[in-house]
Amino acid sequence: MGNNYFLLGALVTPLVGAIVALVFARSNRIQRIIGVVAGIIAWVFCSALLIEIHSSGIQTYALGNWRPPYGIVLVADTFGGLFAFMVTSIMIGGLLYTLHSHDKCMTYPAFMPLFLLMEVGLVGAMLTGDLFTLFVFMELMVLASVSLTAISDDQYGLEAALKYILISSMGTLFLLLGIAAMYATFGTLNMAEIAQTLLTGERPFLAPASAIMLLCAFLLKSAVFPFHFWQPDFHTTAPTPISAMLSSIVVKVGVYGIIRLVTLLFIEEAPLLERWLSTLGIIGIVFGSLGALRTYNAKRMLAYSTFAQIGFILVGIGWGEPLALIGAIVYAFNHAFIKSSLLMLMGVVSSYTKIKSANFADISGIGGKMPASVGWLLLIGGLSLAGVPPLNGFISKLALIQGGVHRGDWPNLIIMVAAGILTVIYMIRAWQRIFQQKALPDTAETKSEGDSLLAPFLLICICLLLGTVLAEPLIQLTMETVRQLGDPRIYISAVNLPA
Amino acid sequence: MTELLFALSIGLLFGIGVFQLLRRDLIKAAIGFAILFSAINLFFVAAGAFEGEFAPYVSNVEAGRQTSDPLIQALILTAIVVSFGSFSLVLGFVNIISRRYNTIDSNDLNKLKH
């Protein structure tokens, strides 16, 4: 199979964009435009890639024309292609938001290059077929996002960034340790080759240990229960477009890794890992929903809600059935769009206050000062998150619950539905506090102009489309994905290892 | 014998690194971070150090003798670059924190706790 240059394009475009943006460090305006253009080109490459995968199977690109297993190979199966498509789509939203934002941190010359490097890390992690390259891309993503949070307008961004880099480096260490153990036992880091060895039923000494280490690293990246404590701080203090990316697509890298782990590499150990995943997921759902109910800050509420939503996805993976996996992937896809638009809307709301605060005490009752469309969009987004038809949140909940009913796991299903009701409560309550209440005496001073609504408006439109017209194609594509994930031999044969 | 030494030193470095990382002093924590990465790099070396008798890519290897694995060294170089990058980023953060909050005690950095 020949090299597919769309794969390389999706990866290299943001990288080139970052370098070109550094060249134009003097002009902030040009930097932002370069960012948007690079984001759109990367999206076009990813869409073309997805169409190609759909029509002619898994696509590969051997870097430097070194054939596997000697060279690094980029692999895009439907799963990787779908996730890369999701990442680039939401990235365009984030880049558009920076066009009309008044945050001071966005005027720094390093902001746009770092933002684009984060996209390189995200896309690369989802398209690579090599474990070590996965580590490098994940580390690129972490370093870029940490730096972006550290330069945030929020004065506590630095504290959150330090906290996260120390914790995430522990995760990185375990990832590296797991990779080293993999290399020591298999003598290769090509995922297809490792999968080929594991498929024969052979279990070298260190293989289960490295499975656990990789799982822990991925759980930490997506902020699942025992490793979650950095997440609300980090996601709250980041600049608005960055926190929208962190809470929607950066946490999905961990989900991506976990799905790869249980469907491609460690299929025999999968039931054991999955039992853990559903337990941790349920804890995340309960904890996250309750945390979102009682928190003092609107962005923090959404961060806790991400914690709960990742729990839903993990429970879906943990059920370990094709039907539930379809639900989990659809859920991950839809959640990215809903959460990024909601966080951007909260960013717009807080940009109308002079101190740029999203504390409920500061933003209660300031809804009258801003266009009515903000309120409507926030209401639609909130209902979508809670899973009200005909929005896309409903489609994903429906797909997931169908998987659970098929599995017959009633206790967890009841908890999940109850958490859905909690979602309605906290979203509606936040909306009422901002748009229905009268301004309190200690409500913050407002400005007449805030950030542009363009990016969240587009994302909400996509949410509406995903809930209606595009729901059927998405489910079809996910079914194809899960069919492909169900048989690792398809992936292995596509990488074209020498016999 | 060397293998045992390797194992012992990796374990020791890991222990020291984790202990330092959990210190309240942020500079000590940053140094613990660097030590932990050294431990991992050493583990990586150990994964490929004991096979082969010759350096890879040298011309005068006797026939039938095995060369050592070059890939390990390439991987470690990359890992060292990544760890160095994150280490310098942590030190930079500690530097700015010391000026912005007037402390490098992690117990005093609790403004985000509510």
pLDDT in tens, A172-188: 888 888 888 888 888 88
Q: Which of A305, A301, A432 minimizes the C-alpha distance to A375? A: A432
- pLDDT confidence of A282, banded at 50, 70, 90? very high
Residue A61 scores a pLDDT above 90: no
Residue A306: how many CA atoms within 13 Å on its side-chain side?
Answer: 36
Q: What is the pLDDT of residues A452-473, one digit of tens each?
A: 888 888 888 888 888 888 888 8
Eight-class DSSP state of A59: E
pLDDT greater at residue A42 or residue A186: A42
Mean per-residue pLDDT for B33-48?
86
d(CA A131, CA A118): 19
* The token pair that represents A459 in the structure block: 């994302």
d(CA A485, CA A277): 18
CB B96 within 8 A of CB A158: yes
d(CA A196, CA A194): 5
d(CA A462, CA A210): 39
The pLDDT score that the predictor gives to residue A124 is 93
Q: Which of A345, A423, A335, A405 minimizes the C-alpha distance to A378? A: A345
A165 to chain B: which residues are within 8 Å by CB? Answer: 86, 89-90, 93
Model ipTM over 0.85: yes
Q: What is the pLDDT of residues A69-104, one digit of tens each?
A: 778 889 888 999 999 999 999 999 999 988 888 888
Eight-class DSSP state of A61: E
Cα A390 to Cα A100, A327, A383, A386, A464, distances in angstroms: 31, 17, 10, 12, 8
Q: Which of A161, A153, A146 minimizes the C-alpha distance to A104? A: A153
- Give how far A136 is from chain B: nearest CA, Å: 8
**Inter-chain contact A139–B101, Cβ cutoff 8 Å?**
no
d(CA A307, CA A317): 16
Residue A42 scores a pLDDT above 90: yes
Cα A80 to Cα A120, A123, A128, A432, distances in angstroms: 14, 9, 9, 39
Residue A108 scores a pLDDT above 80: yes
The pLDDT score that the predictor gives to residue A442 is 67
Residue A273 contacts B, CB cutoff 8 Å: no
Cα A408 to Cα A335, A402, A403, distances in angstroms: 24, 10, 9
Task: Find residue B105's DSSP bridge partners.
Answer: B25
Binding-face residues of A in 206-265 toward B, CB within 8 A:
233, 236-237
pLDDT greater at residue A417 or residue A369: A417
The residue among A147, A162, A301 with the most chain B CBs within 10 A of its CB, best to mutate, is: A162
Residue A426: how many CA atoms within 13 Å on its side-chain side?
Answer: 27
Eight-class DSSP state of A391: S
- Give how far A98 is from chain B: nearest CA, Å: 24
Q: Is the peptide bond before A69 cis (omega within 30 degrees of 0)?
A: yes
Mean per-residue pLDDT for A197-203?
81
Average per-residue pLDDT for chain A: 87
Q: What percent of chain A has pLDDT over 70?
A: 98
d(CA B99, CA A100): 31
Residue A438 scores a pLDDT above 80: no
The pLDDT score that the predictor gives to residue A159 is 87
Backbone angles phi, psi at B109, to 5 degrees: -90, 75
CB A167 within 8 A of CB A227: yes
CB A3 within 8 A of CB A62: yes
- The alpha carbon dihedral of A324, A325, A331, A334 has a sign of negative
Tell me the whole-structure pTM to 2 decimals: 0.92
- pLDDT confidence of A392, banded at 50, 70, 90? confident
Residue A165 contacts B, CB cutoff 8 Å: yes
Using CB atoms, which residue from B43, B82, B97 is nearest to A180?
A: B43
The pLDDT score that the predictor gives to residue B63 is 65
Q: Where does residue A37 rank: exposed (0-12), middle (13-18), buried (19+ CB within 10 A)?
A: middle
> What's the N-to-C CA distance of chain A in angstroms?
15
Using the structure block, give the residue that is written with the tokens 């009633």.
A410
The pLDDT score that the predictor gives to residue A115 is 92
B44 to chain A: which residues are within 8 Å by CB? Answer: 176, 180, 183
Query: How open is the CA angle A362-A364-A370, to the nearest 5 degrees?
Result: 95
Domains in chain B, CATH or no CATH each: 2-100 (1.10.287.3510)
B112 to chain A: which residues are within 8 Å by CB? Answer: 156, 159-160, 163, 233, 236-237
Residue A43 scores a pLDDT above 90: yes
To the nearest 10 degrees (0 to 180), the angle between helices A111-127 and A251-260 is: 10
- Give how far B87 is from chain A: nearest CA, Å: 10
The pLDDT score that the predictor gives to residue B79 is 87
Residue A50 scores a pLDDT above 60: yes
Which of A8-17, A109-118, A370-379 is least confident?
A: A370-379
The residue among B26, B40, B98 with the most chain A CBs within 10 A of its CB, best to mutate, is: B40
A143 to chain B: which residues are within 8 Å by CB? Answer: 85-86, 89
CB A295 within 8 A of CB A304: yes
Which of A152-166, A243-257, A443-457 is least confident?
A: A443-457
- Give how far B110 is from chain A: nearest CA, Å: 8
Mean per-residue pLDDT for B52-66?
67
Residue A418 CA to its chain's centroid (Å): 24
* The token pair that represents A322 in the structure block: 């094709």
The pLDDT score that the predictor gives to residue A46 is 92
- Give how far A214 is from chain B: nearest CA, Å: 15
- pLDDT confidence of B64, banded at 50, 70, 90? low
Using the structure block, give the residue that is written with the tokens 């044969």.
A493
d(CA A44, CA A298): 34
Average per-residue pLDDT for chain B: 83
Residue B93 scores a pLDDT above 80: yes
Closest-CA residue of chain A to B112: A233
Residue A134 contacts B, CB cutoff 8 Å: no
- Give how far B54 is from chain A: nearest CA, Å: 18
A5-30 burial: b if 16+ Cβ within 10 Å, else e: ebbebbbbbbbbbbebbeebeeebee
- pLDDT confidence of A296, banded at 50, 70, 90? confident
Residue A483: how many CA atoms within 13 Å on its side-chain side?
Answer: 9
Q: Where does residue A267 rank: exposed (0-12), middle (13-18), buried (19+ CB within 10 A)?
A: middle
Q: Which residues of B touch A (CB under 8 A)?
A: 21, 26, 29, 33, 36-37, 40, 43-44, 46-48, 71-72, 75, 78-79, 82, 85-86, 89-90, 93-94, 96-97, 100-101, 109, 111-112, 114
The pLDDT score that the predictor gives to residue A353 is 82
Which of A291-295, A339-343, A381-385, B54-58 is least confident?
A: B54-58
Cα A453 to Cα A37, A248, A347, distances in angstroms: 19, 18, 10
Backbone angles phi, psi at A205, to 5 degrees: -55, -45
pLDDT greater at residue A188 or residue A122: A122
Which of A88-92, A163-167, A418-422, B103-107 is least confident?
A: B103-107
Residue A372 scores a pLDDT above 70: yes
**Inter-chain contact B21–A143, Cβ cutoff 8 Å?**
no
d(CA A215, CA A317): 13
d(CA A459, CA A283): 30
Question: Which one-letter amino acid corresponds to residue A244?
Answer: A
At A384 the three-state DSSP class reads: helix
d(CA A36, CA A31): 9
Residue A44 scores a pLDDT above 90: yes
**Inter-chain contact B86–A155, Cβ cutoff 8 Å?**
no
Closest-CA residue of chain A to B72: A183
Query: How open is the CA angle A322-A325-A329, to the nearest 5 degrees?
Result: 140
Cα A461 to Cα A48, A215, A367, A391, B31, distances in angstroms: 22, 35, 21, 10, 48
**Inter-chain contact B97–A184, Cβ cutoff 8 Å?**
no
The pLDDT score that the predictor gives to residue A84 is 92
Helix segments in B1-114, DSSP class H: 2-21, 26-48, 70-100
Residue B110 CA to its chain's centroid (Å): 28
A170 to chain B: which residues are within 8 Å by CB? Answer: 21, 36
Residue B57 scores a pLDDT above 80: no
- Give how far B44 is from chain A: nearest CA, Å: 6
**Inter-chain contact B37–A177, Cβ cutoff 8 Å?**
no
